[in-house]
Amino acid sequence: MAKSHIEFVCQQCGAIYKNWTGRCNKCGAWSSLIQQFDESSRDEKSAVGRGQMSGKQLDFVSIRDLEISDEKERLPTGFHDLDIVLGGGILPGSVMLLAGQPGIGKSTILMQICAHIADNAKVLYVSGEESAGQVKLRAIRLGAESDNLKFASSTSANDIAKTIEESDFDLVVVDSIQTLTLAEIASAPGGVSQVTNCGNLIIRAAKTSNTAVIIVGHVTKEGTLAGPKVLEHLVDVVLNFEGDRYGGFKIIRAIKNRFGSTSEAAIFEMNREGLAEVENPSAALLAERQNTDGSIILATLEGTRPILVEIQALVTPTNFGYPKRTASGYDLNRLNLLIAVIERRTKLKLSDKDVFINVVGGLKVQDSAADLAICLAIASAVAGRKLSEDFVVFGEVGLGGEIRSAFRPDQRISEAKKLGFAHAIAPATVKDEFVVPVKDLRNTLIDYVNE
């Protein structure tokens, strides 16, 4: 019988150590090593030798002779935009991983999806975190009471996998992977070994029985998916649930999708009936806008969907030796870079001023075409001069102060026209009568926001 070994496994990267150390030498994480027992021998030579002797030659065929099996009809989620994110709905036999911050609405939207699919298919909701009473109260609130929607409470990955294999459910939801344990592993729930092996077992059961499975995953305080990275490689689709847990819009985007695009996004808002799709997010974001200095309307994209969002800037004299820069919904490093470009390429001095940037509505803007809107908002706040209400802005700003082209300008312009805007301050490369062309940052600030 193989001798039992004690080892220490990093919960961030999976590195294995014989002795405990305060810091993982591989990923640099502190206090991430957890003790666990390895019941198998760690003699790599004997393991390789046994594997070589037990292997057999594979049966292979020509790529021309491969047959494509008929794809079964996808399961609609009940949310049109979410179906687009998934590539047309939930594919039978697929395994999806949904990750998001605590309280953002993961369990709510999953219950709504289960309720919609249960009208025409059999669904099982497995909870390892909440009691039956808690799930029942949510189901009543969301109107998810159906005979086809079943519930089970378990933290055993062995039992869940067996249920998936031997039952005829069309969809199984597992909430969440960090609470599951495999009986053959002695480590605590949520550890690298438990998450990896529990995920592997459930994925095998899903593929064997052609059952669609949605697994809920936790996130770390940095916002990344908790657990080993191998879990993201094992599943077919990884969905990231973003937004402010206390209000504002919430966005679901696919960061990995074997069956569709990763450039789409679904936008939701929370109400008493659960999560609802936002049909016209641009109008909702601009409904309470007051045209003051430092306020600029940006034509941006969420995936391939055009959205108009308000960028607000506040510039005040600093009371300390080091000026403060703060950004909400925008990358702080990019903001510092744009401030350096403004100071170097124009006559605007910001070294003695605090700069605050806010993206209204709780959205996180990662579009490079937001550069020009950020610069105009800062200059407008410094000069105390408002930009005309008829303008929207988009364009990338280079280090030389030049205004560069933006991705899909026609969609941005079309969205601005729908909401009644008259002009767009945009790169000169965009050929449209709607566009007021600009080539460099200095002349743009002189023409529109300088005193």
AA letter at 395 = G
**In this structure, are strands 5-10 and 16-17 parallel, antiparallel, or unpaired?**
antiparallel
164 neighbors 205 (Cβ within 8 angstroms): yes
Residue type, 179: T
Please tell me the predicted confidence (pLDDT) of residue 335: 96
Q: Apex CA 222: angle with CA 219 and CA 228, to 5°?
A: 50
Classified as helix, coil or strand, 85 is helix
Q: How many CB atoms lie within 10 A of CB 213?
A: 28
The reported pLDDT for the residue numbered 121 is 93
Question: Comparing C-alpha atoms, which of 444, 27, 49 is closest to residue 222?
Answer: 27
Q: Are 370 and 405 in contact (CB under 8 A)?
A: no
- List CB contacts of 9: < 8 A, sequence separation 6 or more: 15, 16, 17, 33, 34, 36, 187, 191, 192, 193
Please calculate the CA angle 371-373-374 and round it to the nearest 5 degrees: 65
The type of residue at 292 is: T
The SS3 of residue 36 is strand
Let me know how many helices (H) and strands (E) the chain has, helices first. 12, 21
Q: Which of 351, 361, 390, 394 is nearest to 375 (CA)?
A: 394
Residue with tokens 């590539």: 87
Compute the C-alpha angle 272/278/279, nearest 5°.
130
Contacts of 255 (CB under 8 A, 6+ apart): 238, 239, 240, 262
Angle at the Cα of 361 from the Cα atoms of 356 and 367, rounded to 5 degrees: 70
Chain-centre distance of CA 64, in angstroms?
38
Any residues with CB less than 8 A from the CB of 306 and at least 6 apart, and which? 282, 299, 300, 408, 411, 412, 414, 415
Task: Give residue 44's pLDDT.
Answer: 47
What pTM was estimated for this model as a whole?
A: 0.79
Q: What are phi and psi of 396, to 5 degrees?
A: -90, 140
Helix, strand, coil share (%) of the chain residues, nearest 5: 30, 30, 45
User: Could you read off the pLDDT tens digit of each residue along the chain, which spans 451 residues?
Assistant: 445 567 888 877 778 888 888 888 888 888 888 877 654 544 445 555 565 566 777 788 888 887 765 556 889 999 999 999 999 999 999 999 999 888 899 999 999 999 999 999 999 999 998 989 999 999 999 988 889 999 999 999 999 999 999 999 999 999 989 999 998 887 788 888 888 899 999 999 999 999 999 999 988 777 777 777 888 999 999 999 988 777 778 899 999 999 888 888 899 998 888 999 988 889 988 988 888 999 999 999 987 889 999 999 999 999 878 899 999 999 999 999 999 999 999 989 999 999 999 999 888 898 999 999 999 999 999 999 999 899 999 999 999 999 999 999 999 999 999 999 999 999 999 988 999 999 999 999 998 875 4
Total residues belonging to the chain? 451
Instruction: Report the alpha-carbon distance of residue 203 to residue 166 in Å, rounded.
Output: 14
Half-sphere exposure of 313 (CA within 13 A, CB side): 31
With a CB cutoff of 8 Å and minimum separation 6, the contacts of 142 are 108, 111, 112, 115, 273, 274
Could you give the CA distance from residue 438 to residue 427 in angstroms, rounded to a whole number? 5
| Measured CA distances, 213 to 93, 179, 199, 205, 297 (Å) | 7, 16, 11, 10, 41
Query: Does residue 236 contact residue 259 with C-beta atoms inside 8 Å?
Result: yes
Q: Distances in Å between the alpha carbon of 105 and those of 108, 275, 371?
A: 5, 8, 31
